[in-house]
Chain A
Amino acid sequence: MSDPILRLSGVFTDIAQYHILQGVDFEVPRGQVTMLLGRNGVGKTTTLRTIMGHWRARAGQIVLDGQDIAGLPTPAISRMGVGYVPENMGIFSDLTIEENMILAASSGPIDRARLDWLFSVFPPLQTFWKGQAGNLSGGQKQMLSIARAMVEERRLYLIDEPTKGLAPAIVSTMAGALRQLKDQGASILLVEQNFSVARALGDSAVVMDDGRVVWAGAMAELANDASLQERLMGLSMEAGH
């Protein structure tokens, strides 16, 4: 197997007096979708935010393509080719969809062919291109949030719960978009609570509990073993099938 695109080794992150990450170790293989799974509050979002530099790791290494990025400022990490979709979507409500996308294309003008592809994946973005992003529905905002990360080719995509709270129709749109991204060979670290989506997209999975990785392996292995799911995550994923 080729070198992983991202490797976390012994990462500890504190938020105020709370020790959230307590020695996180895992790898994200190049060109694959890695699912980051676990119950609420186990440190999945903190892991993504630590990788992105929003929160500084107290200890440990975060190696992106051979370079330790722990301690680098967020803009430097982003400019190394990391696209980030936060849990709260992070869209700029006061700006138009066009302005959101222009801002996301930080290395230059938006590539027309890529934009056309994004319009085909997320048609509402073309429909409301000149409209204020704050007026979009929740699902449309999530489309914009993901499209913003996809507007330029990235080395690694960090996507935090893209289907959270969305209607089934929009979940399907999201899954389709991520599938297309995966088919292009993108490396993705995806936090996802919807196990159907996780099983359909994931190549590998990392399960966290209490700020640590408690299991890592092939997604298929986890998906096909209900008792393993029960043991790792304390609930039956069959319910989500």
Chain B
Amino acid sequence: MTAAPDHRPTMSRAGLGERLGPYLPVLLIPAIMLFGLVAIPSMSSWLTLTVSGLAMGMMIFIMASGMTLVFGLMDVINFGHGVFISVGAFVGISILLVLAHMTEAPSLALNLAAILAAVLAAMAATGVLGWAFERVIVKPVYGAHLKQILVTMGGLIVVEQLIIVLWGPEEIYILRPEALQGAITFAGAAMEKYRLLAVGIGAVLFVVMRYTLRRTKIGLIVRAGVENGEMVEALGYRLRLVFVGVFIAGSALAGLGGVMWGLYQEVITAHMGQQIMILIFIVVIIGGLGSVEGCFIGALLVGLLQNYIAFLEPKAALISNIGLMVAILMWRPQGMIPVVKAK
């Protein structure tokens, strides 16, 4: 064999545009805030709407993050995801009603403890339901998108009817815990305490999810599995177990989101999950199917834009999110942060 010359590979430095590319979606958040600041005449109104938009966005992120992970890793279009939101809300709110002595006490610690108990119960219930949903409904239709849509929709209808059987057909109204009612004022702007709590929980959850995905081995397996599941298995990892774990985690997160959304709206219905699914689909699609970071950015954009537009031109609020989706998909058809998939 002829001797080959030494191989001295180099990697060229990416240009500025190429390096900035991945961060452009993040810059959309301050850009949209700036738009709000210019368009809204009062600074205090802008601040109130911004906190409200961020809170709404964080709650949508909590509900949508599980769905995007399930789609990215398992290639499963789960139209039944909304039912975990409804079940989570009903379980969580039921716990809060039982713990009324804690929620009615003017003690922030007791109020938060009651919410924590409600959230844990909701996540446990929706986690178990998610496990059953995956085993019974989703597992037989892996790889068949049309069937997935049909059976997961069917599963949603069945579970919604079960909610009506267990809790009745009426809406359930609930007051937020005592210490979380009302608002605090800052720079002349009123900011609801509950919305600030939602912003905090959403931000913490995003940091935890990002850390888990970026800095732990299970996160590596999930990210690699999104791209090329077959190769992950060839490296010795049982991806099926990871699938089930992600489905359970995604369902539990939807349950958490359900409790938070229920307290935000102060009313819950069996169909609440189904109703919020439109927003969740928009967020998952514009974020980039399977991308947690994209989902986070998309959720904040949807929350902020909806609040700003609802203030500026209430009728236009109905189409603002669809407009946002169209604009982003024209810019990046694969979503803001597309996930690499093996060909």
Contact = CB atoms under 8 A, between A and B. Distances in A.
Nearest to A172: B4
Contact of A93 (B6, B239, B340): B340
Contact of B7 (A86, A90, A170): A170
Decide if the interface of chain A is mainly helix, strand, loop or mixed: helix
B230 A90 contact: yes
Interface in B202-254: 217, 220-221, 223-224, 226-228, 230-239
Interface stretch (A19-27, A129-137, A217-225): A129-137
Interface stretch (A4-12, A101-109, A202-210): A101-109
A84 interface: yes
Given A78-B236, A200-B1, A92 B227 contact: yes
A119 interface: no
A175 B1 CA distance: 11
A75 B237 contact: yes
A73 B238 contact: yes
A181 interface: no
Interface in A76-107: 78-79, 84, 86, 88, 90-95, 99, 102-104, 106-107
A229 interface: no
A137 B238 CA distance: 30
B142 to A, nearest CB: 15
A168 B2 CA distance: 9
Nearest to A200: B1
Contacts of A169: 4-7
A74 interface: yes
Contact of B340 (A73, A102, A127, A134): A134
Given A94-B227, A124-B9, A128-B11, A78 B234 contact: yes
Contacts of B231: 86, 90-92
B227 A78 contact: no
A45 interface: no
A147 B7 CA distance: 17
A94 B236 contact: no
Contact of B234 (A54, A93, A168, A172): A54
Contacts of A74: 230, 233-234
Interface residues of B, number: 31
Interface string A40-58: 0000000000001010000
A88 B5 CA distance: 25
A38 interface: no
Contact of A140 (B9, B220, B233, B237): B9
A52 B234 contact: yes
Decide if the interface of chain B is mainly helix, strand, loop or mixed: loop
Contacts of A172: 1, 3-4, 7
A45 B6 CA distance: 30
B175 interface: no
A87 to B, nearest CB: 12
Given A102-B217, A104-B235, A94 B9 contact: no
A106 B235 contact: yes
B183 to A, nearest CB: 42
A139 interface: yes
Contacts of A136: 11
Interface in B293-343: 339-340, 342-343
A94 B238 contact: no
Contacts of B234: 52, 54, 74, 78, 84, 86, 90
A73 B233 contact: yes
A171 interface: yes
Contacts of B342: 88, 90
A107 B221 CA distance: 14
Interface in A133-159: 134-137, 139-140, 148
Contact of B237 (A106, A137, A175): A106
A132 to B, nearest CB: 10
B236 A79 contact: yes
Contacts of B1: 172, 175, 196-197, 200
Nearest to B233: A74
Contacts of B235: 78, 103-104, 106, 148
Contacts of A102: 217, 220
A213 B169 CA distance: 68
A88 B228 CA distance: 11
Nearest to B239: A75
A197 B231 CA distance: 26
Contacts of B343: 88
A131 to B, nearest CB: 7
B237 A94 contact: no
A142 B8 CA distance: 15
A34 B207 CA distance: 49
A92 B232 CA distance: 9
A107 B238 CA distance: 13
13 contacts: A54-B234, A74-B230, A75-B236, A86-B234, A92-B223, A95-B224, A99-B224, A103-B232, A106-B236, A127-B9, A137-B11, A172-B7, A173-B7
Top 6 A-B residue pairs of the complex, sorted by shortest distance between their CB atoms: A172-B4, A90-B231, A78-B236, A106-B236, A74-B233, A169-B7
